[in-house]
Amino acid sequence: MDNGANIYSRYLSGDDSAMGELVREYMDGLTVFLNSFTNNLSEAEELMEETFFRLAYKKPRYNGKSSFKTWLYSIARNLAIDSLRKRKGFTTVSVEECTDLSDSMDVEEQYITEERKIIIHRAISKLRDEYRQVVCLIYLEGFSNAETAIIMKKSNRQITNLLYQAKRALKVELEKEGITYAGL
């Protein structure tokens, strides 16, 4: 049982402080992931809160078939899709808040790094919805392909293909900005 599952189990057993631990542990990553659906940080935060509200009051059963984090992100994804259905449309993502700069860099390095991140985030925001989501889950949140497949309700093969296509599309967008990355 992973740490999130242990904390959730404590909450279900009556330890109310455990829900606060869950929120602190997962709220930032969950908000960034939900923002890939909504392209609106406020709405993403509301969906994140609704996800934890669902855990707190509906107390869904965690069956352990996947990691707790994967299960939690699947719940959030379903809430985001329901929200989008109500809105009747998908939008693009802004991932400006995805990563932090190290305080140890000097000002010039920070500026150059920030400019590169802005260009990369702009390029990511131009990708198709599914491409943005797979990039966010795998590269920003650190999920495996298998976990991403569970969250996105796709097969492992579909995730592999989506990731390949997303990297190709991202490479094209970055080349338009004059940036080439060997890893893409």
3-state secondary structure labels for all residues of the chain? CCHHHHHHHHHHCCCCHHHHHHHHHHHHHHHHHHHHHHCCHHHHHHHHHHHHHHHHHCCCCCCCCCCHHHHHHHHHHHHHHHHHHHHCCCCCCCCCCCCCCCCCCCHHHHHHHHHHHHHHHHHHHCCCHHHHHHHHHHHHCCCCHHHHHHHHCCCHHHHHHHHHHHHHHHHHHHHHCCCCCCCC
Note the pLDDT tens digit of each residue in 124-168.
Answer: 888 888 998 898 888 888 899 999 999 999 999 999 999 999 999
What's the whole-number mean pLDDT along residues 37-44?
A: 85
Give the predicted TM-score (pTM) of the model: 0.63
Q: What is the pLDDT of residue 111?
A: 66
Q: In the structure, what pLDDT confidence band is assigned to residue 1 with cuts at 50, 70 and 90?
A: low
- Integer Cα distance of 163 and 135 in angstroms: 7
Q: What is the pLDDT of residue 88?
A: 63
What's the whole-number mean pLDDT along residues 162-175?
A: 89
Q: What is the pLDDT of residue 89?
A: 46
Note the pLDDT tens digit of each residue in 52-61.
Answer: 999 988 989 8
Shortest CA distance to 138 belongs to which of 150, 126, 128?
A: 150
Q: What is the pLDDT of residue 115?
A: 73
Note the pLDDT tens digit of each residue in 75-131.
Answer: 999 998 888 888 764 444 444 444 444 444 466 676 667 777 777 778 888 888 899
Domains along the sequence of the chain with CATH: 3-87 (1.10.1740.10), 107-176 (1.10.10.10)
